[in-house]
Structure 1
């Protein structure tokens, strides 16, 4: 069913992070990406490839990016699947895991799952990849929301609009899946976000969350991005997030209870703007 909401027709839009030049560069990347997706999707539909494209399997629904080799493997799988890569190559790892989780856990094979990308960017890979898998044929069934967005924008049938991940305005149980990639570390209040996600997901629906992580987080004092101080989640933070999700009716898919489940030998992610090395974690939950 199409999405409906009660959003303010003239929302207060957040300033784009990184300044005007970066915003222009991102807008250019967005247009190139969606032009490719539209052309590729039509060609693959004619050849029947979209219906037969294998579901990604190299990244589990819940897991830790432990090494450079892991994001390289994810990037290679995305390339084999003819999915347009994120320019920041490690980000292909969590995006591929989230897309695999949505396709295998939230969609019944009909490619009709209703999916929202929370804190979305129009140049990020999750929604384009889902579109190439055949999702988004029903109007409004693929949605991206972000406080930075102003007027509604559509890209190859995907809707991007202003929206708060803690108060979406969507009806109860209206979604099959929510993805939230590298967003919650930027000052998102976790309990309201998780409660809102549980509210708008149908029973059995899926929430995929990735975030910056380190078993021994570096000092981020005085380092800011996206309007808040940089935060890299610790093992204690992750356990607290999982416990809060459980209290909101969201069950973790997978297991983080083993002694090495939150440990890693490498820090395969580098954020040049703030000069930090760390890694990513992907968490997938099911709505009870």
Structure 2
């Protein structure tokens, strides 16, 4: 578990993604404009989100250290997600994206990435199908811990990894009544993450590395809330 501490980490991560040739952000939209595009309020498909540079960079770095280029990787909530395109750009060849959005046919690299319109909490993929499952800024929407952990554990190979980034603040922030993509929105607290990690263990998913919950600042502002991002890796035992 890592926590974004300040905005300088975002710009540094974007520079590293650019250096790797892994960057795949179509335009420097604000997060609000990106959300509006996803909701169909603004036309066109905008890949990625500059604010998620830190998450994407951390995820890409971890995968490059722990998964071979030919191993199967699944990105859940993949519509407009940069990570799946970034993985393709650095040479990963066995990629699948899952999302409920029927416009997945607009996603890039259609001939190289398999896209499935499906509820990622209840997929038809076979047991032990993937080495890595990624979820960049996904699980905070209509969060269902048990369903998520059950499906993740079912789909991962032994020794596989679940990598998730999410909205986070150490103390509880009330988001009641705020919805994105027609779904409830959750800003995870330290207690929320601790409970999620404890529950994950019962599904044979164990945290990788140290769990750092500390945040010195709230660099992210959205829907009148101030918070940051958390990044978590679980390993299937």
- Render the CA deviation track for 1:177-209: whole Å, top value 9, x for unaligned: 100111111003111111111111111111101
- Render the CA deviation track for 1:156-192: whole Å, top value 9, x for unaligned: 2112221111111111111111001111110031111
- The correspondence for 1:78, drawn from 1, 17, 28, is 17
Structure 1 runs, 4 residues or longer, greater than 4 Å off: 150-154
**For the structure 1 residues 126 and 243, does the alpha-carbon distance in structure 2 shift closer, same or farther, using more than 3 Å as the test?**
same
- The correspondence for 1:175, drawn from 105, 109, 130, is 130
The unaligned stretches of length 5 or more in structure 2 are: 29-48
Tell me the distance in 2 between the aligned counterparts of 1:101 and 1:255. 14
Work out whether 1:266 is the aligned partner of 2:217: yes
**For the structure 1 residues 201 and 217, does the alpha-carbon distance in structure 2 shift closer, same or farther, using more than 3 Å as the test?**
same
Tell me the distance in 2 between the aligned counterparts of 1:125 and 1:70. 18
Q: CA deviation at 1:277?
A: 1.9
**2:234 matched to which residue of 1?**
285
Contact 1:75 1:85 in 2 (8 A): no
- The correspondence for 1:144, drawn from 69, 86, 97, is 97
Contact 1:142 1:158 in 2 (8 A): yes
**2:207 matched to which residue of 1?**
252
**1:125 matched to which residue of 2?**
82
Tell me the distance in 1 between the aligned counterparts of 2:132 and 2:146. 18
Q: CA deviation at 1:69?
A: 1.8
Work out the number of aligned pairs and report it. Answer: 213
**For the structure 1 residues 125 and 72, does the alpha-carbon distance in structure 2 shift closer, same or farther, using more than 3 Å as the test?**
same
**1:96 matched to which residue of 2?**
57
**1:16 matched to which residue of 2?**
none
Q: CA deviation at 1:85?
A: 4.7
- The correspondence for 2:71, drawn from 107, 110, 113, is 113
For the aligned residues, what is the CA RMSD?
Answer: 1.8
SS at structure 1 position matched to 2:102 = coil
Q: CA deviation at 1:150?
A: 5.8
Tell me the distance in 1 between the aligned counterparts of 2:88 and 2:141. 27
Contact 1:217 1:278 in 2 (8 A): no
Contact 1:99 1:130 in 2 (8 A): yes
Q: CA deviation at 1:128?
A: 0.9
